[in-house]
Every structure is written in structure tokens, then in C-alpha cells.
Amino acid sequence: MSRVTEQVPLQSTLRLPAKARWYAEVADVAQLPQLLSHPQWKQIPRVVLGEGSNVVLRADLPALVLRPIMGGMRVVEWQGSRALVECQAGESWDQLVQWSINQGLAGLENLSLIPGSVGAAPFQNIGAYGVELADVFDSLQACSLVDGVCRQFSASECCFAYRDSFFKSVEPGRWLISSVRLWLDRDREPVLGYADLASRYRALPAAMQNAAGLRNIICELRRSKLPDPAQMANAGSFFKNPVVSAQQHVQLKRSFPELVSYPQSDGSFKLAAGWLIERAGWKGRREGNVGMHSAQALVLVNYADASGEEVLHFASQVQESVRNMFSVELEQEPVILPALEQGGTP
């Protein structure tokens, strides 16, 4: 059975102070049934926490915190130029991206440098530069936090949406994702939906116009726009890009002709949250230990020794300001632990 320790400091890219009342690393899902059925842990809350790249730890967790550390990547099968790749949840997401390119496989390069573990990727349905995890997803294995029993989830069962999934919104806190399967392709065409990305890619020598070359460009762009969590504590994009109706979009364009927006297939419009935040006067603004980054208005930064409550208070001010100026609601991306609606119990 996994070794359980007490009062363990938790790591997150926002570097907020928090401890787990109980903590265990899971190297093998076969250990879970015995661990979860143990009389000492049977009745207490369970929380899964990987590298902490998309969470706000607002306080200590009075729970059994489980960290998946299982590792390994492999090609399960080939279908022509396509490969079904399986990766264990404890691996670093960006290491998977680099590994896939080393195998000559394309599909993940637009998702380069996204921090976090592989197990967290489906939870959030990570996305960047016109690609989402759902675009290459096949299936995953997840284990119940009630009894440790594992089962497969298909893409449809995962209910993927924009920065959302079954595991985040439908049954939060009930599953530990243990492995993920993705379809990658030797002959996949590059996704170049962003003008800056397309121009840089086409300027590459012909020999570099491949997945490896595109990954290099993505890494350069991310490093130029987003602070490295190792150097400056942050959780990446702190707010989702809001979606508004066509009618509201027309009204906003009348008042703000320079509004940055993107038409969606259902007739709605996705707004650039960073533009809204910057226009509302929050880009580069700091209050105490917390602020919005000076180069990217979407990134909330812990400049010093902020607490989780300081972060959430600052974020609420940004949301209120955008709401008052644009009548648009900004939704926070990172998960709050312990959950606010549960009165401190995750």
C-alpha cells in the first residue's frame, strides 16, 4: 500500500502556502483499493493533485491528497501513418510532447510548454494555438476515489468542452486519471490558425517545416508572452475567454470597435479575455503581493508571499471591473482548493 504521510507542504506553480493533512503518492493504481478501503482513510475527503499547475490552494487541505507518479510512454499500435500512443498520468506533459516528436509523430506540438502532468491534461482539456487535447484524444483510464476500481472513458464520455471535461464539471473530485491514449500522425498537417504562427512557420527553411520546427516556434512564442512559473509564480491563463451571443457582440462592437473577438460555429463569439482585462486597466497592475502580468494581462502573478485568499480577492476585483465595463462575466480557469462551496472541505 502507498505510504501515507501527514502535514505535507503542497507544491503549485502559484506557490501558495498550503499543506495536505494526509498525503500519498500513487505509483501503481493496483494500490488504490487497499488504500481507499483502509479504515483510517475510508470516510475522509480525497483530492488528486499533480504538479499543481492549474490550482489555487487557498488553504490547507483537510483531506487525503493523492499524487499520481506512474510513468511510461509507448506506442500501442499503428494504423498506417497513425499511432495510438499511451502515456501514464505522472509524466510531464511537455516531456510527452517532446517524446512524440522524437518518434516522428505530430499532433501535440501546438500544446508545447503547457505546464502540468499528463493526468491533468484531460481534466482541463488543455488547449493552445488552435489545438485542444480533445482533437487527438482516444480514451483514458480513470480510477474511482470511492473504491479504487478503474475503468476506461471514451472521448464522448469525457464530455470535452472549452477548458472543461466530465472530470471537472460533472463528477469533480471522484476520479484519478491514471493513463491517457492519443492518436498522433506522421503525416498530420500543421495547425497554423494564428497569423503570427503561420508567418513564422512559412519563413522556416523547408527542411524545418515539420512538427519539430513548429514546436520550436510555439516555445519561442510562449516564452516571449508568458512568464516561466519557475521564475515568477503563476498559474498560466487565469481566466477563460468568455463567449457571448451574436446580439451582445454587436452591442459591444458598437461601444468598442477595436474589440478582439472570434466567431464560433454556432453563431456566438469568443472574446479575448486578455484584451478585456487590459482595457479595464488591469494589465501590469499590482496590489500588494498579487498582480496581472505586465506583458500578458491574462496571467495573474504571485509576486511575493501571497495567500490563496489574496489571490481570489484580487481576481474578484478584476472580474467585477470587467463586468461593470463590458457586462461580460469572466470565469476563472484554475480550480480552487479547498472548494469554496464546500466550506473548506474539498
pLDDT of 300 over the 60 cut: yes
- Structural domain including 313 reads 233-340
If asked whether residues 285 and 333 sit together in one domain, one would say yes
If asked whether residues 214 and 80 sit together in one domain, one would say yes
If asked whether residues 78 and 173 sit together in one domain, one would say yes
333 is a catalytic site residue: yes
pLDDT of 217 over the 90 cut: yes
Q: Of 225, 245, 261, which residue constitutes the final position of a domain?
A: 225
If asked whether residues 93 and 162 sit together in one domain, one would say yes
| Interval 65-88: pLDDT, tens | 999 999 999 999 999 999 999 999
Q: Which of 237, 261, 278, 279 is catalytic?
A: 237
If asked whether residues 78 and 204 sit together in one domain, one would say yes
pLDDT at 128 (0 to 100): 92
DSSP code at position 169: I
Q: What is the mean pLDDT of the chain?
A: 94
pLDDT at 344 (0 to 100): 33
- Of 175, 150, 189, 133, which Cα lies nearest the Cα of 46? 175
If asked whether residues 99 and 208 sit together in one domain, one would say yes
Is 146 among the domain residues?
Answer: no
If asked whether residues 84 and 48 sit together in one domain, one would say no
| Interval 27-70: pLDDT, tens | 999 999 999 998 888 888 999 999 999 999 999 999 999 999 99
DSSP code at position 315: H
Is 345 among the domain residues?
Answer: no
- Of 59, 56, 62, which Cα lies nearest the Cα of 23? 62
- Residues 220-245: b if buried by 16+ CB within 10 A, e if exposed: ebbeeebbebeeebbbbbbbbbbbbe
Q: Give the residue-averaged pLDDT of 102-130.
A: 96
If asked whether residues 163 and 63 sit together in one domain, one would say no
| Interval 160-191: pLDDT, tens | 999 999 999 999 999 999 999 999 999 999 99
pLDDT at 1 (0 to 100): 61
| Interval 243-254: pLDDT, tens | 999 999 999 999
Sheet holding 61-68, edge to edge: 4-9, 19-26, 61-68, 46-48
pLDDT at 43 (0 to 100): 84
pLDDT at 156 (0 to 100): 98
Q: Give the residue-averaged pLDDT of 312-324.
A: 98
Q: Give the residue-averaged pLDDT of 265-269.
A: 93
pLDDT at 189 (0 to 100): 94
If asked whether residues 172 and 272 sit together in one domain, one would say no
Q: Which of 58, 163, 215, 279 is catalytic?
A: 163
| Interval 122-151: pLDDT, tens | 999 999 999 999 999 999 999 999 999 999
109 is a catalytic site residue: no
299-302 and 233-237 beta bridge pairing: antiparallel
> What CATH number does residue 186 fall under?
3.30.465.10
User: What percent of the chain is predicted at pLDDT more than 90?
Assistant: 88
> What CATH number does residue 275 fall under?
3.90.78.10
Instruction: Give the least confident one: 36-40, 47-51, 287-291, 302-306.
Output: 36-40
237 is a catalytic site residue: yes
Please give the Cα distance from 87 to 233 (Å, whole number).
Answer: 27
pLDDT of 340 over the 70 cut: no
pLDDT of 193 over the 90 cut: no
> What CATH number does residue 60 fall under?
3.30.43.10
pLDDT at 274 (0 to 100): 95
* Number of compact structural domains in the chain: 3
